[in-house]
């Protein structure tokens, strides 16, 4: 798959960050494609199936060859309660259920979602082989894994046959406050594995609006990023703009995913991604973040 540098993450369509209007969310999908994005990522977990359902309403109005589509297996939920099931049986069932919600007859990329919540041995020996079986049948075209913890992604790749894992999706580790993903470029590239970067705003840390209540980042990092955002605002250069530009400029990354259910924000991010980045401001933001740089957290 030849992906656009900036791509559309559909988590916001499930109301993950705040309440959304369905018609506006559907228009956000159209706006993303109209502005050159050709990759859409979603999961049954986002909004507890709502994101896939809303996205499906948009995709039914679009030619299937206009986009690449990614969804996930392993992490689910209902009525505010998270659930996980990485069994082969559930993985296969989940793919077909997602296709029904999305209104498609194949998935371009199927991911095992947030593998740090799984037994990694089960992912390597049961979940992934089940998805490879679907790949062999043409139900899915490619197979990948996602996680916050880069070490888990590396472990699974090391413990599966070559060609099993075709891509990795990692979030919050290639952005203005954390570039740990750089340490793993060589490992993945040597094995022909595509690298997908997600959450260039670090789930709201790198934004003028600030983080949602549930954000797991340590207080020290939250305060440092808040100071950086205020500094950028005073310079007349939104930190969101700088964050998007920073994340899309690295040639080792196939694509960077951002999520918004607001068509105006989608259009704005697409425009920012094409504009030159202020390297001096990047250095100044790094200085403000200081000792909090690469200060991470556990997934929730």
Q: Which two tokens stand for residue 182?
A: 């750089």
In this structure, the chain runs to a length of 300
Question: Does the CA dihedral 111-45-92-60 come out positive or negative?
Answer: negative
Query: Which pLDDT score, from 0 to 100, does residue 18 have?
Result: 63
Query: Which pLDDT score, from 0 to 100, does residue 94 have?
Result: 98
Query: Which pLDDT score, from 0 to 100, does residue 16 have?
Result: 64
CATH classification code of 6-292 = 3.20.20.100
Query: Which pLDDT score, from 0 to 100, does residue 190 have?
Result: 98
CB-based contacts of 241, cutoff 8 Å, min separation 6: 272, 275
Q: Which two tokens stand for residue 150?
A: 């880069």
127-138 pLDDT, tens digit each: 999 999 999 999
Burial environment of residue 113 by CB neighbours within 10 A (0 to 12, 13 to 18, 19 or more): buried
Per DSSP, the three-state class of 27 is helix
21-70 pLDDT, tens digit each: 999 999 999 999 999 999 999 999 999 999 999 999 999 999 999 999 99
Query: Which pLDDT score, from 0 to 100, does residue 106 have?
Result: 98
Cα gap 256→249, rounded to integer Å: 10
User: What are the boundaries of each domain within the chain?
Assistant: 6-292
Q: Is the pLDDT of residue 214 over 90?
A: no
Q: Is the pLDDT of residue 17 over 70?
A: no
Query: Which pLDDT score, from 0 to 100, does residue 20 have?
Result: 83
- Annotated catalytic, 106? no
151-209 pLDDT, tens digit each: 999 999 999 999 999 999 999 999 999 999 999 999 999 999 999 999 999 999 999 99
Query: Which pLDDT score, from 0 to 100, does residue 84 have?
Result: 98
What average pLDDT score do residues 113-139 get?
Answer: 98
User: Would you list the DSSP string of 66-116?
Assistant: G-EEEEEESEEEETTEEEE---HHHHHHHHHHHHHHHT-S-EEEEEE--GG
**CB atoms inside a 10 Å sphere around CB 283:** 9
Query: Which pLDDT score, from 0 to 100, does residue 80 have?
Result: 85
Q: Which of 46, 49, 67, 246 is catalytic?
A: 46
Nearest to 111 by CA among 125, 87, 95, 100: 95
Helices (H), the chain: 22-34, 50-59, 88-102, 120-122, 128-136, 150-158, 185-190, 219-234, 239-248, 263-274, 279-289
Confidence of residue 300 (pLDDT cuts 50, 70, 90): confident
Query: Which pLDDT score, from 0 to 100, does residue 79 have?
Result: 87
231-271 pLDDT, tens digit each: 999 999 999 999 999 999 999 999 999 999 999 999 999 99
Phi, psi values for residue 199, rounded to 5° = 60, 65
Q: How far is CA 253 from CA 57, 70, 168, 196, 290, in A?
A: 30, 17, 10, 6, 25
């Amino acid at each position: 798959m030849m992906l656009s540098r900036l791509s559309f993450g559909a988590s916001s369509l499930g109301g993950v960050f705040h309440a959304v209007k369905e018609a506006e969310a559907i228009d956000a999908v159209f706006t993303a494609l109209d502005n050159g994005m050709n990759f859409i990522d979603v999961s049954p977990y986002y909004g507890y199936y709502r994101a896939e359902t809303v996205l499906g309403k948009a995709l039914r109005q679009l030619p299937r060859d206009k986009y690449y589509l990614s969804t996930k297996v392993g992490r689910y939920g209902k009525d505010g309660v998270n659930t996980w099931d990485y069994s082969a049986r559930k993985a296969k069932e989940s793919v077909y259920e997602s296709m029904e919600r999305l209104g498609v007859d194949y998935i371009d990329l199927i991911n095992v979602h947030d593998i740090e919540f799984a037994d990694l041995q089960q992912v390597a020996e049961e979940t992934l082989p089940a998805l490879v079986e679907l790949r062999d049948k043409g139900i899915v075209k490619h197979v990948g894994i996602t996680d916050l913890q880069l070490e888990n992604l590396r472990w699974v790749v090391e413990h599966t046959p070559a060609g099993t894992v075709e891509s990795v999706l990692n979030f919050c580790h290639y952005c203005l406050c954390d570039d740990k993903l750089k340490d793993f470029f060589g490992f993945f590239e040597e094995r022909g594995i595509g690298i997908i970067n997600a959450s260039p705003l670090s789930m709201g840390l790198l934004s003028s609006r600030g983080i949602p209540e549930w954000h797991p980042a340590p207080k020290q990092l939250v305060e440092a990023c808040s100071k950086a955002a205020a500094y950028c605002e005073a310079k007349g250069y939104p930190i969101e703009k700088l964050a998007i530009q920073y994340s899309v400029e690295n040639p080792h990354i196939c694509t960077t995913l951002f999520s918004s259910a607001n068509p105006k924000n989608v259009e704005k991010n697409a425009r920012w991604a094409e504009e030159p980045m202020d390297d001096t401001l990047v250095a100044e933001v790094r200085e403000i973040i200081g000792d909090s740089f690469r200060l991470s957290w556990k997934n929730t």
